[in-house]
Chain A
Amino acid sequence: MKQLLTFIRKEFLHVFRDRKTLLMLFGLPIAQIVLFGFALSNEIKNTRIAVVDYSKDAVTTRIISKIAGSPYFNIQRSLAGGQELQAAFKKGNIKMAVIFPAGFGDDLTHTGKATMQVIADASDPNQATTITNYLNQIVLDFNAGLAQDAAQPMQILPEIQMLYNPALRGAPNFVPGVMALVLMLVCTMMTSVAIVREKELGTMEILLVSPFRPLYIIIAKLAPNLLISVVNLFIILFLSDIFLDLPVKGSLLLLVTGSVLFILTCLSIGLLLSISAKTQQAAMMGSLMGMMLPTMLLTGFLFPIENMPVALQVLSNLVPSRWYFIIIKQVMLKGLGVAAVWRELLILTGMCVLLFGISLRNFKIRLQ
């Protein structure tokens, strides 16, 4: 036991001696939470649009000023015609163009209907859909104004309530995602590199010929990373409460339990990587290429999992951060209890035990 403590102390010294790495370990989560929390949002506002008005009458002026008054749009300029429009789209100056044909106002007053044309730059499909919808709403509003004299019969009024995130901020979705991402990468990468480094420098041999049990080596290697990750977790929770107004609504104990399970799972993955990698470079590439993008994409915080092809949906079940992401959302944002997340907790426990078992079995005590 005393041996183990000494060894853990050695590992801590190794980690704390390297100031630059330490800075990254704590700086990254802080920078990410602050940057992402404030900067990322799904809301689309101030979209730059162009107006081409061939009619220039009272009606088009009214509609244009209504569009200009909306927070969603920012009328960049009025263009003369089609040629200029192409150029503006290609330069990326505008995302949408609104075109009123000649005689728009006359058509409306005489025939009772007039059609305006809207062209959206759909290279970003979601943005195109959203801004087209916004514009539709404005026109509907305008129509309702026209119809005021002839009172509209039979109005169905949808009352829409946005639950959990009424202002549609980006933070409630991104903070859990970033938590999962940061914890995952810090744990897997740091662990795998820490072990492979000893192999690369040749100090592993010394450890292996010592009477020290392999299990102890592993525990000692994992301990500093576990501590760092837990500290990181609290920093993230603290920052999101203070700056982003996202307190832990549910039980803190439950959230920490889930997090520790997730951290242990990631540490086991790091351990597994370190067994197969021969050089630090390989271990890093493995954890970076193998973990970063899949974690980002298959966790479900950037893209909805139910949209993916079935094979990827199945694959996403193997990504631990997917389950952890659900736990954070349910406990931290919605304030639910164990009843809502027992399944996810169980899955993480299973993954953790399985991965740790495999890596323990495969941990080589001989150098080739």
Chain B
Amino acid sequence: MKTLGFLLEKEFRQLLRNRQLMRTLLLAPLIQLIILPLAADYSVRNIAIAVTDNDHSTTSRRLIEKIVSSGYFKLRDYTASYPEALKQVEQDKADLALQIPAHFERDLVREDKKQVYVAINAIEGTKANLGGAYLGNIVTDFNSEIRMQWQVSGTGGTDGPPQVSVASSNWYNPFLNFHLYMVPAILVTLVTAMVAMQSAFNIVQEKESGTIEQINVTPIKKHIFIIGKMAPFMVLGIILFTMGLLVGWLFYGIVPLGSLWVLYGSLIVYLFSMLGLGLLIATYSGTQQQAMSLSFFFINIFNMMSGVFTAVDSMPDWAQAIVATFPPSHFIKIMRPVVLKGSGFGDILPEILWLLALGLILNTWAVLNYRKTA
């Protein structure tokens, strides 16, 4: 126990002495947390449209006006022909091309139906998906508007067919604020990158500079050495997380609805599993470059797959099974509900158990793989 005390003192001194590193470790993530959520706004509005109106009737003009004034669409250009509008889409000047064919109004009255043509650039799936849905809704709305008008001025009196209407409400984020969704997840990725990588580097650095051999020849037990190496980063992770929560509150007004005990409890379990990964990486690498390559490999995949940017639920089953082995995906599943919905300990228990299991596996593996003799 006394050995551990001395080791901890050594590690903390080494860490605190390196001012440049401390600055990067604490300041860089906070600056990113302040700026990045501003960039991570995936709300779909301002869809640029190019319109070809071959009808030039009152109805066609009213339809266009309704689309543009909806707030989702931004009129880029009126083009003389549909191919020209498509060209705009091709050149990324417009996201969507709309053509109202000739005799639109006349056919609508005479034949009771008429098509309008829409082409959407679907490379960005979400935008295309939502854009199409918005446009569909607006056209349906417009349709019932003109129908009402004609019925009132025309035959009159008939009530029309029975209608089911939908009253929808958005819970937990009524204004559909994207920051609420992104800030907790970005905080997780930043803590992950800092803690897991630094702990790996820290051990490998001793390997590279040869000082690890000095420790290996001492009677220090390997688990004591490992705890000594991990503890400072556990503390660092907790400090970073706390500062991150403060930034979320000061800059984005996000106050966790759930209990802080639950948050910090899960954070410690999470850090335990990620430090295990860092240690494992360290045992497999001989140089800092290797440690960097390996941790970079994992962090990059964690960032993209853990549900920070795209929903894990819409992945195929095999991919969801892989993602379940990534500790960050579970911590994100804890952070978002606890911060946004106020979920309690019982709600997130399965995720905590996952983290605990992953942490035990990673740490056991790392300790078994760690040799005091080179």
- A44, A142, A307 — which one has the most chain B CB atoms within 10 A of its CB? A307
Residues of B within 8 A of A147 (CB): 160-162
List the B residue with the shortest CB-CB distance to A136: B166
Interface pair B290/A156, CB less than 8 Å apart = no
Interface pair A35/B319, CB less than 8 Å apart = yes
Residues of B within 8 A of A134 (CB): 133
In angstroms, Cα B109 to Cα A203, docked, is: 84
In angstroms, Cα B165 to Cα A117, docked, is: 9
Residues of B within 8 A of A178 (CB): 304
> Could you tell me which A residues sit within 8 Å of B by CB distance?
18, 20-21, 24-25, 27-28, 31-32, 35-36, 38-48, 59, 63, 87, 89-92, 95, 108-109, 112-130, 132-137, 139-140, 142-143, 146-147, 149-166, 168-170, 172-173, 178, 181, 185, 189, 193, 197, 278, 280-282, 284-286, 288-289, 292-293, 296-298, 302-304, 306-309, 312, 316, 326, 329-330, 333-334, 336, 340
New A-B contacts (13) at CB < 8 Å, excluding given A90-B337, A289-B193: A18-B287, A18-B289, A40-B310, A42-B125, A108-B164, A113-B164, A115-B167, A123-B173, A137-B133, A154-B143, A154-B150, A281-B201, A293-B32
Residues of B within 8 A of A334 (CB): 90
Q: Check B6 for interface membership: any CB of A closer than 8 A.
A: no
Interface pair B309/A41, CB less than 8 Å apart = no
> Could you tell me which B residues sit within 8 Å of A by CB distance?
20-21, 24-25, 28-29, 32, 35-36, 38-46, 63, 86, 89-92, 108-109, 112-130, 132-137, 139-140, 142-143, 146-147, 150-151, 158-174, 176-178, 180-181, 189, 193, 197, 201, 205, 284-290, 292-294, 296-297, 299-301, 303-305, 309-311, 313-316, 319, 322-323, 333, 336-337, 340-344, 347
Known contacts being A149-B161, A160-B118, is A117 close to B167, with CB within 8 Å?
A: yes
Distance from B290 Cβ to chain A, minimum over Cβ atoms (Å): 4
Other-chain residue from A46, A112, A140, A169 in contact with B160 (beta carbon distance below 8 A): A112
8 closest A-B pairs by beta carbon, nearest first, are A42-B125, A39-B319, A122-B170, A147-B161, A24-B293, A162-B122, A125-B176, A165-B122
Residues of A within 8 A of B92 (CB): 326, 329-330
Interface pair A302/B309, CB less than 8 Å apart = yes
Interface pair B314/A46, CB less than 8 Å apart = yes
Interface pair A304/B161, CB less than 8 Å apart = no
Other-chain residue from A89, A150, A166 in contact with B171 (beta carbon distance below 8 A): A89
Distance from B72 Cβ to chain A, minimum over Cβ atoms (Å): 10
Interface pair A129/B166, CB less than 8 Å apart = no
Interface pair A18/B122, CB less than 8 Å apart = no
Other-chain residue from A24, A156, A308 in contact with B297 (beta carbon distance below 8 A): A24
List the A residue with the shortest CB-CB distance to B114: A156
Interface pair A90/B112, CB less than 8 Å apart = no
Interface pair B113/A154, CB less than 8 Å apart = yes
Interface pair B173/A20, CB less than 8 Å apart = no
Interface pair B125/A121, CB less than 8 Å apart = no
Interface pair B289/A156, CB less than 8 Å apart = no
Residues of B within 8 A of A289 (CB): 24, 28-29, 32, 193
Known contacts being A137-B136, A163-B89, is A154 close to B40, with CB within 8 Å?
A: no
Interface pair B180/A168, CB less than 8 Å apart = no
Interface pair B164/A173, CB less than 8 Å apart = no
Distance from B312 Cβ to chain A, minimum over Cβ atoms (Å): 9
In angstroms, Cα B129 to Cα A134, docked, is: 10
Interface pair B167/A161, CB less than 8 Å apart = no
Residues of A within 8 A of B63 (CB): 156
Residues of B within 8 A of A181 (CB): 300
Other-chain residue from B41, B115, B124, B166 in contact with A158 (beta carbon distance below 8 A): B115
Interface pair B42/A303, CB less than 8 Å apart = yes
In angstroms, Cα B134 to Cα A137, docked, is: 11
Distance from A198 Cβ to chain B, minimum over Cβ atoms (Å): 12
Interface pair B136/A304, CB less than 8 Å apart = no
Interface pair B293/A117, CB less than 8 Å apart = no
Distance from B192 Cβ to chain A, minimum over Cβ atoms (Å): 12
Interface pair B176/A128, CB less than 8 Å apart = yes
List the A residue with the shortest CB-CB distance to B109: A154
Interface pair B297/A91, CB less than 8 Å apart = no
29 CB < 8 A contacts A-B: A21-B290, A31-B297, A31-B301, A40-B304, A40-B310, A41-B310, A42-B125, A44-B129, A92-B343, A95-B313, A112-B162, A118-B169, A121-B171, A121-B341, A123-B180, A126-B178, A129-B176, A133-B137, A143-B163, A146-B161, A146-B162, A154-B112, A157-B116, A159-B115, A160-B120, A163-B120, A189-B296, A293-B32, A307-B42
Distance from B200 Cβ to chain A, minimum over Cβ atoms (Å): 11
Interface pair B341/A89, CB less than 8 Å apart = yes
Interface pair B337/A124, CB less than 8 Å apart = no
Other-chain residue from B36, B38, B315, B344 in contact with A90 (beta carbon distance below 8 A): B344
Interface pair A158/B136, CB less than 8 Å apart = yes
Other-chain residue from A115, A137, A161, A336 in contact with B119 (beta carbon distance below 8 A): A161
Interface pair B122/A163, CB less than 8 Å apart = yes
List the B residue with the shortest CB-CB distance to A316: B39
Residues of A within 8 A of B161 (CB): 112, 143, 146-147, 149-150, 152
List the B residue with the shortest CB-CB distance to A157: B115
Distance from A45 Cβ to chain B, minimum over Cβ atoms (Å): 6
Interface pair B294/A24, CB less than 8 Å apart = yes
Distance from B67 Cβ to chain A, minimum over Cβ atoms (Å): 11
Other-chain residue from B134, B168, B289 in contact with A118 (beta carbon distance below 8 A): B168
In angstroms, Cα B170 to Cα A262, docked, is: 43
Residues of B within 8 A of A293 (CB): 32, 36, 189
- B24, B109, B205, B344 — which one has the most chain A CB atoms within 10 A of its CB? B24
Interface pair B125/A173, CB less than 8 Å apart = yes
In angstroms, Cα B41 to Cα A281, docked, is: 32
List the B residue with the shortest CB-CB distance to A45: B314
Interface pair A120/B128, CB less than 8 Å apart = no
- B38, B137, B293 — which one has the most chain A CB atoms within 10 A of its CB? B293
Known contacts being A123-B181, A128-B176, A136-B166, is A42 close to B129, with CB within 8 Å?
A: yes
List the B residue with the shortest CB-CB distance to A308: B39
Distance from B101 Cβ to chain A, minimum over Cβ atoms (Å): 10
Distance from A191 Cβ to chain B, minimum over Cβ atoms (Å): 12
Other-chain residue from B118, B193, B289 in contact with A159 (beta carbon distance below 8 A): B118
- A92, A114, A140, A181 — which one has the most chain B CB atoms within 10 A of its CB? A92
List the B residue with the shortest CB-CB distance to A282: B20
In angstroms, Cα B93 to Cα A340, docked, is: 12
Residues of A within 8 A of B299 (CB): 288, 292
Distance from A356 Cβ to chain B, minimum over Cβ atoms (Å): 23
Interface pair A20/B294, CB less than 8 Å apart = yes
Residues of B within 8 A of A336 (CB): 90
List the B residue with the shortest CB-CB distance to A311: B38
- A31, A122, A150, A157 — which one has the most chain B CB atoms within 10 A of its CB? A122
